[in-house]
Structure 1
Amino acid sequence: MGTVALAVTDGMLHFELSVAYEVFGADLSRLADPWYDVTVCGPDPVRFGRFRMEPDHGLDRLPDADMVIVPGWADVDVDPPAELVDAVRAAHEAGARVASLCTGAFVLAAAGLLDGRRATTHWAHTDVLAARYPRVEVDPDVLYVDNGSVLTSAGKAAAMDLCLHLVRLDHGSAIANTVARRLVVPPHRAGGQAQFVTAPVPALDDRASPGSGPHSGGGYPVAELLAWATERLDQALTVEDLARRAHMSSRNLGRHFRAVTGTTPLQWLLTQRIRRAQELLETTGDSVDAIAEATGMGTATTLRRHFNRTIGVPPDTYRRTFRTSRGR
């Protein structure tokens, strides 16, 4: 929470900057008060593409922020500006949480913040990042990496995923989901999800034709299937139930499902159940047994096992920790 500084410089990518400003800079105090206080820091003026902007402050103000967001920039063949690198390093040393979007990872790497750490960037530039900074453990196959005080994301849409992940860390799943609905984007994509897939994505209007059998390679829109399943998380849905709904064999569904989501139907279902459980733990006083039933887990024992393995703490601990954090 607190102050968010967007570190800008000439030649940056305006999409990533816009994503960060839209998530953190919009007045969403009706959702959580206080919300973030956003400031733009950079040399005066800053030019990117056909655009020109006047930052609020110079880069020397980065160490005053609680969180620093570093958008990417277009030319990764040259070293990032030394002034920007020094300011980002100073901000981290002062205790700021630092996150890069897309090729902003090159700034964090130049500042030494990724040495010995796992990190990612846009898949088209992961080889360059790894070659230039051999002490960084570059993972080209994920959407974002959270190292606590240092976070990195892949390109474009993954920047939104990381920004929503940061909101989730600070304000909880319920508010992050509300922000996602406002932006009309998926409320959560796990950071470990693949950046891209080589299999073709089925067209949204590629529906099963009359008479198509369950083993047809045809096409019930997977996006519609996700929405259908999300509304029924309280039911004991199986992969076979999803396949039946999609008029496919389980094997064919798995292939289409992975092409769209980057994961398996069973893992996707489990992830959605855990996210729903987080939201209920944050926003209700329901017992763990009731939440297990509401999320299709069946029993509190099953919920506790999967929740602990996925989130790292039991549901009761998560609830106490979240409420204590919000109180502070």
Structure 2
Amino acid sequence: MSIWEKMLNLDRRWIFLLIGIACVVPFFTPLGLPILPSQEVVSIYDYMENLTTDNAIFVGFDFDPGTAAENMPMGVAVLRHAFARHIPVFITAYGPLGQGMAAMALDEITDEESDDYYVYVNWEDWASIREQGITDRAGIEEAWIAAGNTLSENAHGWVFEGRDVAFLGYLPYFHLVILGMSSSIASQYPTDIGGTPLEEMPMYQEHKSLRDIDLAVTTAGSSACVAWITYGREKIGLPVAFGVTAVMATDYYIYIQSGQIIGQMGGLRGAAEYETLLLRDGYTKSPGKAFVGMDVQSIAHLLIIFLVVLGNIAFFAGGFNKKTKLKGRR
């Protein structure tokens, strides 16, 4: 048996082993392969860069665990960006499982074991500051520090519940919820998921309806993202950006071309591009999960291409294209 025939009859389990190694090794030794952000992602990032504490955004976790590998890093990246710039964030979910995904994202961002975390300050913990009539972001942080609170070395800052974030969660028939929020957010969400009245939150006092919101970013694994276009963008002119899975991305480029959305993060690559921009501008200290995931994906794809090319070389160099049957195992 010639070397070419041995190659073509290689036990497929060796290929599975090689793919397994290619997927595992980059997690422990990241390669840091370069990622050039696309204009669709840069457009979202630049839009966020122009927002301040006087603005507010919605981030919709409109996906379930099935697409979390792609969608979760998008939501986490946008939240990190908003928290770093002290942009108030209302968090919603199109489906019941999306609420759990949003909770996991907040847990990741506020995990004290990570190198890039934010300290989450519960509503009750800064009640004394509100009682003094202090509700602006700068004043709250100044009073919080004056009370003796300090940040650890790895912490980026504080996230004050009700001032920086309102976790609204899931409601059924979400397209109707979007319609209702165009008149009043509190009419649909009287309280957040923890039971805190929305009308008592300083961020709600400044942004009472979707008409007062400056951007809605929907991270979706289905057509749920279209609801934000239909009932948000077209009805009241709400600026919208998408974060969708790779297989969905091409379906929604028409909304970029028509100017109906600000931009789009497509798949793991789109999330990694946003993470690259955050790292570039110092909002994070280390690459995110999508950036590392792109190393895994790229190495696996390169290995598959190499094996395909090698198989074709063996096929033609061994003259098997002239034969009707190969010898060896089935």
TM over 0.5: no
Which structure carries more helix by proportion?
2
Q: TM-score if structure 1 supplies the norm length? A: 0.32
Q: Which has the larger radius of gyration?
A: 2
State TM-score, norm by structure 2: 0.31
Higher relative contact order (CA 8 A, sep 6+): 2
